[in-house]
A and B are shown apart, each in its own frame.
Chain A
Amino acid sequence: KAGVTQTPRYLIKTRGQQVTLSCSPISGHRSVSWYQQTPGQGLQFLFEYFSETQRNKGNFPGRFSGRQFSNSRSEMNVSTLELGDSALYLCASSLMGDRGYTFGSGTRLTVV
């Protein structure tokens, strides 16, 4: 079966711009979580969606937002980009939002 697909794989944006990242979960998986990974902080939880509802949110500013569509695909948006937003953004899906997650390969965002 197809894995978790994240697009694009790489992005370069300028400070102050906004960006939208996309995640297609494994077919049948209704839970999608987003993580930010940096060398300094490791993997940090952003938010989780289940059946189009945000169930949990990490400690990130309101510039970070997301949504989930009826087909379980998810997008996250970062507005007013800062240099510190440069990171690998990972999406993970699971059947119910628990027990072993399947991660995508991530989107590498560079803010210049």
Chain B
Amino acid sequence: SQKIEQNSEALNIQEGKTATLTCNYTNYSPAYLQWYRQDPGRGPVFLLLIRENEKEKRKERLKVTFDTTLKQSLFHITASQPADSATYLCALDVRGSTLGRLYFGRGTQLTVWP
């Protein structure tokens, strides 16, 4: 069966450290992988997109890697801050799937403490 797993439901780290979140998938062939941030009671906010032929992408303090052989994406937040505390979702845009549909993981709740 098809599955998207994010490494843990919750991750707690100290301010200034690097947070690393994992997204693993099985039985999908994603053309793109996206990461979103969601705060309580709000909709997800798009952060980064990486294509299947890209290994790494960066945006300010964020870095995403994509390994289609391992079927895994890593999402890094460097120099983390309490304001980074939120739930982070990975989403797959699947090759061959009709446009407009994303498959989401359950999310990892990140807490950055001072």
Contact = CB atoms under 8 A, between A and B. Distances in A.
Interface size classification for chain A:
20 to 34
Interface of chain B: mostly helix, strand, loop or mixed: loop
Interface size classification for chain B:
20 to 34
A43 interface: yes
Interface in B38-53: 41-46, 49
B73 to A, nearest CB: 15
B105 interface: yes
Interface in A60-112: 90, 92, 94, 96-106, 108
A101 B91 CA distance: 11
Interface of chain A: mostly helix, strand, loop or mixed: strand
A98 B51 CA distance: 12
Given A100-B34, A100-B49, A31 B43 contact: no
A97 B100 contact: yes
Contacts of A100: 34, 46, 49
Contacts of A97: 99-100
B102 A105 contact: no
B42 A106 contact: yes
9 contacts: A33-B100, A45-B102, A50-B100, A56-B99, A94-B100, A96-B99, A98-B93, A103-B44, A108-B41
